[in-house]
Structure 1
């Protein structure tokens, strides 16, 4: 007992000491910021708020080569505070990044106050704009792991390799909350659940920023995006309007940002869209009243590409670009990703000089930017010493990417235990996505749209190559079978003919590489060419293993019943093919789970936490059993099969009745009742059975991933607090109402009463 007391005392001492040290460091940085601002001219301040793309500094006709006069004009004449993007022609080497940053920092050191330039990049699944970097699954795949420690580790490695590239700022994590599965950036999100998204957001922020040690040479500043409502367009297409009541924004979207802010996220990028007719860049309510004042966000608010300009040219809420600048800065924007000219600088300078934007707003913005630069230690160190990064692209990092991919890949169907495959069988590998790295990595990989992954990741295995590596080329038959879009009966016939010589067929289907507007679609179904191939192969009556490589759930209901097994790979990154093939042959037991409902039909897009009225058919209003039958996604959120079986028992809660101040402690026993070791994600859902705002059918409140050997049992415990019982009412207040709640874990449930 004495040792326990001493440990608690020691822990308290170190906690207090760390807090005091953190406060002292913060006070020191604030003093430095104040001192520096007092020395700055208006021009220097406005320059700090200006972000320019690196490519405008290149020599004409010489891609990737700086025109020093152009760079001098940007840094010394216009005092720009930030640069983003990738020098031409593509993903530079570490040495090229070092050379680039040396040139930029060399110009910055020549300025009067020697303020370093803050460089930002879309390193969203690894240092994805550096040749040889370790690429992890895209964010939707990270969510599918339901493993926050694994996700945090991926961010730590990404930060390490991004800093090795001399870049201190990443435009990640993506905290968008997609409400339409057709949206082209769904794969950049954590899926359809706000709680899962918030937990993953914290994991990424902690990993990127080194658990609040962002000044380390192995950490980077994170940038939450895209605040707010960006993923909920009514059309399902990128950068189109959203209609979202504030009550829903607060109950779902805002909670994800709140969690990341609490974790210490240093910056936020603003949504390019509009909500209820107001572009977010023009909303003082969203940017200043809620984000800065209510949530206490003290970091930098940066725009997305050209979005202040778009207030005038696209949204049509500003009659001139000058008015657009005034509107955005007064709404709360701190930095403008202009990014291809100095219009923001010139116009804002004029606005301040004429008293239309107060100096107080400028000083607030600049203090936030300078604070982040000091926190990143940019005044001491801006260019990486490559000797400090011996693990860049190392076997250790690659192994982590492999493990993450392996835990993300989700087995959705396995009829008659067709999987694992037998290594002695001859198989046919076919399908449009079977033999290219583009479909494993997706967008934001080496280039914006990821079209050059086969070049930059030439040393990595495609799905076909991973099969050949495991079995030998003589045991793997291959033909493309189908193009992603173009129907080719000859290719289909080749696949059908080859399949006659195989025991089983591995059919790889999916989407092209894309992000943003180039990924917009008008049809959620899998492409006709691929459906035609699937149906032709199904006529052979051979077992077909469907492998999906896609950023969003493309509908497969036309042929899903003919598939013996279905695996969702999402966009698993450079090590995804190895992980997939190891799963298919049972060397790895699958453990991923769907982070969204996989819809069956284009007009049946209910989320797992649907309202009761969303799926009622005519005449079924009072029949719960029929109601359940009318709700039928292809696969539900949380679906994920294993090669072993898990049994749940002894669901217990410590109180049948609670007051408005009580927590609820929940325990459940999970047993591996099969013959293989496996990982199981225990999902705890809560239902508020009756409420003044129509309640959800169920809502995820906790999850935990555990590893169990055959016949092993573990008791998993969770604690629910009062916030878990609350919802946002029509007065925009979080409330919990008295009544009965139901806890659901697997096929077990328990009720308790809030008095």
Structure 2
């Protein structure tokens, strides 16, 4: 209630207000040293008293050690809220967590495919369903705030956070991001099955110039607005509760110190009224990393004046102490503090924390249920992309002898990626039972008669183990399943200097290809590691971008034909290290000069994905050849399943602008619809286009649609139309 918030603000001291703006990691209040806590995690009473009672800290985040059970989480939160109850105003603590692919820090929860894998489904309804389950299971643990979804565009293939995104296209990211936000929040975030979302990282993440995490981006304003802003704008217009700031810098200005982005754009232009939280330690980094602030105190001033409300400090009280000094000396007015504190208290009120911080456990009977796991399995199946299938090597037969090889074959790290039970996801093989959550090897072996599946890893992810043994094993089998890719990692620990798969994995691929046995390449990875040195020799290739705990089963379903793959790439899969050109590139990036050759030549294009059946497109048509500012252009096409198996097809609409005042991309995705067709079945799919759907941002930062000619393309068919204002 507004009266409660105003009453609190009137009675709170300056120290108490600043405490509300302070967010600490659980490491700061637990037994042990930060990053080296005792396991199992225990709260330190003296640290807790100092943080919550003395400093009035308003928010705690993170897991500390490894995923806790629902009961343990509730115990931790009860102790924290009990400490909050000892303060003058008994303001509840707001707890936040990264439930980025399910409640991945809650033991026994349902873990889903990562965002890039979900993007490969091209299915907003599925994304919404999983977000609802993630909210349910996170709230079952008592946690009401989720640092998700990631709405960055994944524009650099080497970026180690690419797998956290919905891919490279602004329309796809916007559709799936909105579906995820709605799944988390619903209509009322105080509902026991909903929580506050936190779209991140505002703004311009996903396109660092070097591809290394937390390194500079150089993005013209027109591109920032046309490509990087729309997904956030849609989530904000739909009522997103909070926003997390991009850790990087754009055009030389760290976003945490950029008032034009955090206030002028976010608040005044987009009308965002919720809470803005920093990312990990990013105010201090204005001084220590970005070096635009001569001291930590100056960094705090810059960030608060730019527009942050809450500082993820996260390990000490330096933010509180510096901000207190800044207000007491008159540098920052207390009225500015009140603005942020009001937002923080309002979020706590909207979540219902003042009245009931945690709902009874019996209200969550479906936590970790078979139904939730089945939803994860279905999503994992949908996410797998069949990139190549020559000579019908796939599906595999159960009367064949199979060699399973490669470093990704028998680890859950390559199925889940980071943010899985621990930050780097590096303990999952020890924490989970590989029979209950099978690896690819176990899932394949479970489908086959005993003695028909051989296993020879050959290499680990970086080093050779015993390639000759794998070659000898290949002589005994009919087909090889080679599982290459990456283990789990996240953020800067995943930065790389070479987008090619490591040399050891190349050596294994060459050796097994030289056996002459049919080979199926399974890529389990968080980004498109390059395979061009041997891909042409491989008859069948599957890509799975961290499909989650049920990924092993899902992959086996696809390999043996129990599920017909229908996933589509949400990114462009490059062929060469310097061929990092997205699908919506400019014409000059794909046109040869004086017979110099075409530079745009990816391994696989954005939107590509095969099936065990075939689809044909017919009769692409328009309801009118002339689009105006006042009518709809309806583009329709017939899609037919021309094979002998039922399957899913994602119908993708692309539009090309022939000429524009700013150089247009060669094509842009303007719509997509997923259909399921039985063998021989035919359906008509329609897309409605308005003038604003063809708009771009001009050199003045304004959205405009220019009169001219366009081409619409679906499934290899094209048709021209005109737009007149």
**Fold similarity call, TM over 0.5:** yes
1:8 is aligned to none
Give secondary structure in 2 for the equivalent of 1:691: coil
Aligned mates of 2:329, 2:449 — CA distance in 1: 74
Deviation at 1:455, TM superposition (A): 2.2
| Contact preservation (8 Å) 1:205, 1:264 | no
Cα offset, 1:128, TM superposition = 0.5
2-structure distance, mates of 1:634, 1:682: 21
Match of 2:93 in 1: 117
Residue in 1 that maps onto 2:156: 180
1:166 is aligned to 142
Cα displacement string for residues 427-465 of structure 1 (whole angstroms, at most 9, x for unaligned residues): 111101000101110100000100011122223100000
Shift of 1:657: 1.1
Quote the residue 1:259 is aligned against: 234
Q: Which residue of 2 aligns with 1:44?
A: 16
**Where does residue 581 of structure 1 map in the other structure?**
556
Mapped to 1, the partners of 2:643 and 2:11 lie a distance apart of 70
Residue 152 of structure 1 corresponds to which residue in structure 2? 128
Taking the TM superposition and a 5 Å limit, the aligned residue runs for 1:583-732 are 583-620=558-595, 627=598, 630-732=599-701
1:399 — aligned with what? 374
2:264 matched to 1:295?
Answer: no
Alpha-carbon separation, structure 2, partners of 1:399 and 1:264: 30
- Where does 1:218-297 land on structure 2 (aligned, <5 Å)? 218-297=193-272
| Among candidates 313, 318, 322, match of residue 297 of structure 2 | 322
Cα shift at 1:507: 0.3
- 1:240 deviation in Å? 0.6
C-alpha distance in structure 2 between counterparts of 1:685 and 1:214, whole Å: 36
Q: Give the Å deviation of 1:35.
A: 2.9
The whole-number CA distance in structure 2 between the counterparts of 1:568 and 1:136 is: 17
TM-aligned CA deviation for residue 156 of structure 1: 0.5
Q: Distance in 2 between matches of 1:112 and 1:689?
A: 66
For 1:431 and 1:248, the matched residues in 2 are separated by 41
Native 8 Å contact 1:457 1:574 kept in 2: no
Mapping 1:429-468, distance limit 5 Å: 429-458=404-433, 459-468=436-445
CA contact (8 A) 2:628 2:691 kept: no
Instruction: Report how far residue 57 of structure 1 moved.
Output: 1.2
How many residues in Structure 1 have an aligned counterpart in Structure 2?
717
**Cα distance in 2 between the residues matched to 1:317 and 1:689:** 43
Shift of 1:532: 0.5
- TM-score where L is the length of structure 1: 0.94
Instruction: Determine whether 1:192 maps to 2:168.
Output: yes
Partner Cα distance (1:249, 1:360) in 2: 32
CA–CA separation in structure 2 for the residues paired with 1:381 and 1:561: 60
1:68 partnered with 2:45: yes
Question: What do you get for the CA RMSD once the two structures are aligned?
Answer: 1.2
How far the C-alpha of 1:599 sits from its partner, in A, is 0.3
* Structure 1: stretches of 5+ with no match in the other structure: 1-28
Q: Is the 8 A contact 1:228 1:270 kept in 2?
A: yes
User: Could you tell which deviates more after superposition, 677-686 or 357-366?
Assistant: 357-366
Tell me the distance in 2 between the aligned counterparts of 1:277 and 1:87.
Answer: 33
Range moving further from structure 2, 658-667 or 725-734: 658-667
- Tell me the residue number matched to 1:15: none
Answer whether contact 1:131 1:456 (CA < 8 A) is retained: no
Moved more, 710-719 or 287-296: 710-719
What TM-score results when the alignment is normalised by the length of structure 2? 0.97
Distance 1:251 1:31 in 2: 40
2:74 is the counterpart of 1:98: yes
CA–CA separation in structure 2 for the residues paired with 1:423 and 1:226: 46
Contact 1:98–1:384 under 8 Å retained in 2: no
Q: Tell me what 1:380 maps to.
A: 355
- Paired with 1:112 and 1:32, the residues of 2 have a C-alpha distance of 15
SS in 1 for 2:462: coil
1:55 corresponds to 2:27: yes
- Secondary structure of the structure 1 residue equivalent to 2:127: helix
Shift, 1:384, TM fit: 3.6
Residue deviations 1:227-282, cap 9 Å, x none?
11121111110111111111100000001111111222111111111111100000
2:474 to 499, 506, 510: 499
